[in-house]
Structure 1
Amino acid sequence: MKLNKAQRTQVKLRLGLSGASGFGKSYSALLLAFGITNDWSKIAIIDTENSSANLYAHLGGFNVLSLNEPYSPERYIEAIRTCENSQIEVIIIDSITHEWSGKGGCLQIHEKLGGRFQDWAKVSPRHQAFIDAILKSTCHIITTVRKKVDYSMDTDMNGRAKVTKLGMKEITREGFEYELTLNFEIINDKHLVKVSKDRTGLFMDKPEFIIHKGTGAKLIAWCNEGVSLDEAKAEIQEATTIDGLKHIYSKYSSLQKQIHPMLIKRKNELEGISSQVIEKENIINPTKIETNGTSSK
């Protein structure tokens, strides 16, 4: 265990957009993505909504990956990997609701296993793998999720059953919002949004507003504050000594987990270069080969 000073690093966004059907989740997500990249070709939308993303083709030349049933966690993960391998910068998953409640999604997988509580032991790891694919992605990720009216069955003072309306509830596994950097709730069909979670501090306690390109631009500026993983990678490649690598490891304390494999690889490269130089020197000047710790005279 080791204490390190707090250090702000550049991050990839994990944004959520929730709202009822027809409230403009896909459209808002695309505007956010363009504000982040300023390049439509660097945006991909994983479309589970019957190719509805193509309705917004007039906005720009973004990429579409149509994902049909079964909506298993593994197929979502494969779609994310496909986007990452295509040099995409922003992935929109529209929507994640199907991974949970769609055909072939987690609820249906659980039901087919028997629907018992203990059957979640087989389903939960698969769902968590999907969440991990989002959290560990090298891209900025925007997720959309449907909302529905949530009700509860209560008892009044006279002992009679009554239905109580609790408000709108996201159709995905409870707790997903906690994983996000920021969550926008679209509250009506006029596309007005409010923030339910905001680690950036940019929108909390602000009045409702409509998402536009400038919203994404503001977010990417926040992301780019702090030390950069790309800068750390470049310094590692330029390092020529082991001491230099040690300095880089200390300098980027908040990135140590990510850069450790790169540091080991570069260390091995430098040690290999050093060994080759010594071997070459010994071939050219054999009289300098040390014997029992002393040079030949």
Structure 2
Amino acid sequence: MNLQIAQRRNAKMKMALMGPSGSGKTYSALLLAYGITKDWSKIAVIDTENHSADLYSHLGPYYVCPLTAPFTPERYIEAIKLCEKSGAEVIIIDSISQEWEYLLDYHSNLPGNSFTAWSKITPRHSAFIQAIMQSPAHLILTCRTKQDYVLTDKNGKQVPEKVGLKSIQRDGIEYECTLVFDLDIKNNASTSKDRTGLFQGKPEQKLSSSTGELIAEWCNTGLSEEVIVEQIKQVSNIKDLYDLYKQHPSFQESLKPKFEQRKQQLTNY
């Protein structure tokens, strides 16, 4: 046991894409995965959505692991281990909703007290979550959502009122992820959780391989703006400055004035 300075080196991203059917979760996940690894053959999709992942085979030669009912946590874990052993660098689970639906159905059929029956459910679900969190690969989880309602009192009557979309998974699943994108029916993504700081507070966007590249850089480096500013100052020619700019897409916008300033200095020299 020892203390050490916290560093982010070669982190493995655990992210979720949440949205209703038709919001582009599978397609977006594949683009993100390619941006992260830059190699289709290093991407594996655990497909629970009736071969939906095969629809995008024109993108590249990624691998698919079809998963059919029953969607037990144990079968998900087995599929994750298979993908890891096969050398997958990015594993897409499309989707995780069936795991929770299976457990809910299993719970409803257990005899006895409903509350105590959860003692048979929670350990199985926890094992599934731990398999995701402890995986040496990047994990992209897709999760279906449905419209959620609450009853409100209007003129003495209980009226259902829409309160937004609710994920079809156990409450709190988003807390396990570093990054959560919410997709709408027009395929626009916004972030409801972002520990990377790359997307929080920014406008909606279409997810792409470029988005994956930003995420990969965040995972693979412990660089800060201060470090890159020092590197900019030390560059001695325009070509090296341009190469440095291309190497760090996540800093291009915030440090553009610094790059422009150094470019002008080198041009004057």
Mark yes or no: TM-score above 0.5: yes
1:25 corresponding residue in structure 2: 25
2:159 corresponding residue in structure 1: 162
Percent of pairs identical after alignment?
Answer: 53
Match of 2:142 among 124, 141, 144: 144
Q: Which has the larger radius of gyration?
A: 1
- Matched residue count: 222
Residue 167 of structure 2 corresponds to residue 182 of structure 1: no
What are structure 2's unaligned runs of at least 5 residues? Answer: 224-269
Q: Cα offset for 1:226? A: 3.4
Summarize deviations over 1:109-151 as a string: whole Å, max 9, x none: 1112137011001101100100000000010000000010001
2:249 corresponding residue in structure 1: none
Q: Cα offset for 1:159? A: 2.9
One-letter amino acid of the counterpart of residue 39, structure 1: D
Helix, strand or coil: the match of 1:185? strand
1:214-253, aligned counterparts within 5 Å?
A: 214-226=210-222
2:207 corresponding residue in structure 1: 211
One-letter amino acid of the counterpart of residue 125, structure 1: P
Helix, strand or coil: the match of 1:209? coil
Q: Cα offset for 1:54? A: 0.6
1:1-297, aligned counterparts within 5 Å?
A: 3-101=3-101, 105-114=102-111, 116-156=114-154, 158-189=155-186, 191-226=187-222
Deviant stretches of 4+, over 4 Å: none
Summarize deviations over 1:220-261 as a string: whole Å, max 9, x none: 11101139xxxxxxxxxxxxxxxxxxxxxxxxxxxxxxxxxx
What are structure 1's unaligned runs of at least 5 residues? Answer: 228-297
Summarize deviations over 1:40-78 as a string: whole Å, max 9, x none: 000000000000111101000000000000001000000
One-letter amino acid of the counterpart of residue 31, structure 2: L
Q: Cα offset for 1:8? A: 2.9
Q: Cα offset for 1:3? A: 4.6
TM-score normalized with structure 1 length: 0.72
Partners in 2 of 1:149 and 1:127 — Cα distance? 24
Contact 2:8 2:219 in 1 (8 A): no
Helix, strand or coil: the match of 1:6? coil
Partners in 1 of 2:129 and 2:5 — Cα distance? 29
Contact 2:19 2:183 in 1 (8 A): yes
Contact 2:8 2:220 in 1 (8 A): no
